Amino acid sequence: MIIRSKAPLRIGLAGGGTDVSPYSDIYGGAILNATLSLYASASIKPRNDGKIILNAIDRNEQLELKSEEALAIDGNLDLAKGVYNRIVKDFVKAPLSFELNTYVDAPPGSGLGSSSTLVVAMLGAFVEWLKLPLGEYDIAHLAYSIEREDLKMAGGKQDQYAATFGGVNYMEFFAGEKVIVNPLRIKPEFIHELEHNLVLFYTQTSRLSSKIIEEQTNNVHSKKSSSIEAMHQLKEQSVLMKEAILKGNIDDIGKILHNGWMHKKLMADGISNASIDAIYETALQHGATGGKISGAGGGGFMIFYAPYIYKHQLIRKLNELGGTVINYTLTNEGLTTWTV
């Protein structure tokens, strides 16, 4: 028996950063994101020899451990260990023996929510294997709790919910970790046009998002007005983005992305840099009407909106800059699990 799962990575279209405490606790956050045909996947093969095998295929890392109720968090495949520890602590109450294989279609630090999506995929595999009575909100919140509370990893709340629910969602974040996911009912032709005109570009760099998020958090704690106002504006951009997509005003998206990016750079130092600014200006000169970094900033993936007449000249120019334009489709499915 093999238990499998997959969960989609996401791009943030508007409101990114307003899901991070303490801003979301004080002011309430709002984000619009969409999931992609890029995935984190996990497979569990039960064993009966008292061993745990953790194999991160994309990272070429493997651990063989003795099956215990709690695995040591020591910097080696801690996401997998954190998921296992919580499953045993909250549900099984006894050690498990298994082999866990994982793979992610994007590298860590890429800005597509890869770490959180992997946690969701691993949780999904355990839920499928052990027949745990967890719904979508339960899985997303548990993934958030493992990362942010158990493993002390800095970040927001959107990634876990995007990976679990899938699709294009308008998400609202409130004090007390309350989250409401609003799936958008978008006409297929609007989705096709959005997908057609959005260019996904990997800069071939990654970044440590925790440093940026830490500064963003400190700016809110210290009541830095420019950063807080930037976050207010980003939250407003998520509402404008939602209206544009629902009404089919797809060509407005470039301008909304551009305005959001101008404000996002004010939230914290390190969100942009000379290299990112140069890529962005080049994109604007070759047909893009707007764009942004996906994720906390500092590197990873960028997205650009280019009306179709300009899309291919933009792609040619971006590929000349040393990065890679990635083919994708938007997906409606979130976490998916099955047994073979």
- Per-residue pLDDT tens for 179-216? 999 999 999 999 999 999 999 999 987 666 677 888 88
Least reliable range by pLDDT among 76-85, 268-277, 312-321: 268-277
| Enclosing H/E stretch for 81 | helix 78-87
Place of tokens 């993936």: 301
Distance CA 138, CA 229 (A): 32
- Quote the CA–CA distance of 214 and 152 in Å, as a whole number: 12
Q: Do residues 139 and 146 make contact, with C-beta atoms less than 8 angstroms apart?
A: no
Q: What is the pLDDT of residue 124?
A: 98
Residue 198 bridge partners (DSSP): 305
Residue 95, number of CB atoms within 10 A of its CB: 15
Question: Peptide bond before 22: cis, by omega within 30 degrees of 0?
Answer: yes
What stretch(es) of the chain map to CATH 3.30.70.890?
188-326
CA distance 299 to 303: 12
| 217 exposure class (CB count in 10 Å sphere: 0-12, 13-18, 19+) | middle
19-23, 103-107, 202-206, 299-303, range with the lowest pLDDT: 202-206
Interacting residues of 131 by C-beta distance below 8 A, sequence separation 6+: none
Element (H, E) at 333: none
Residue 3 has pLDDT above 70, yes or no: yes
For the chain, residues classed under CATH 3.30.230.10 are 3-185
- When pLDDT is averaged across residues 221-226 and rounded to a whole number, the result is 89
Q: Are 50 and 186 in contact (CB under 8 A)?
A: no
Residues 290 and 256: beta-carbon distance below 8 Å: yes
* In the chain, % of residues over pLDDT 90: 84
How does pLDDT run across 84-113, given as a tens digit for each residue?
Answer: 999 999 999 999 999 999 999 998 778 899
φ, ψ of residue 44 to 5 degrees: the values are: -115, 130
Phi, psi of 310 (to 5 degrees): -105, -5
Q: What is the pLDDT of residue 110?
A: 85
Across residues 42-67, what is the average pLDDT? 97
Cα(304)–Cα(57) distance, integer angstroms = 30
Calculate what percentage of the chain has a pLDDT beyond 70.
99
pLDDT mean over 65-75 = 97
CATH classification for the domain delimited by 3-185, as one of 3.40.50.720, 3.30.365.10, 2.40.70.10, 3.30.230.10:
3.30.230.10
Fold topology of 188-326? Alpha-Beta Plaits (3.30.70)
d(CA 38, CA 268): 28
Q: What is the pLDDT of residue 221?
A: 87
Q: Is the pLDDT of residue 318 over 90?
A: yes
Whether residue 252 lies in the annotated active site: no
CB atoms within 10 A of CB 57: 13
Give the per-residue pLDDT at 122.
98
pLDDT of residue 208: 62
pLDDT at 8: 98
Q: What is the arithmetic mean of pLDDT over 247-265?
A: 95
Options 19, 78, 159, 252, the catalytic residue: 159
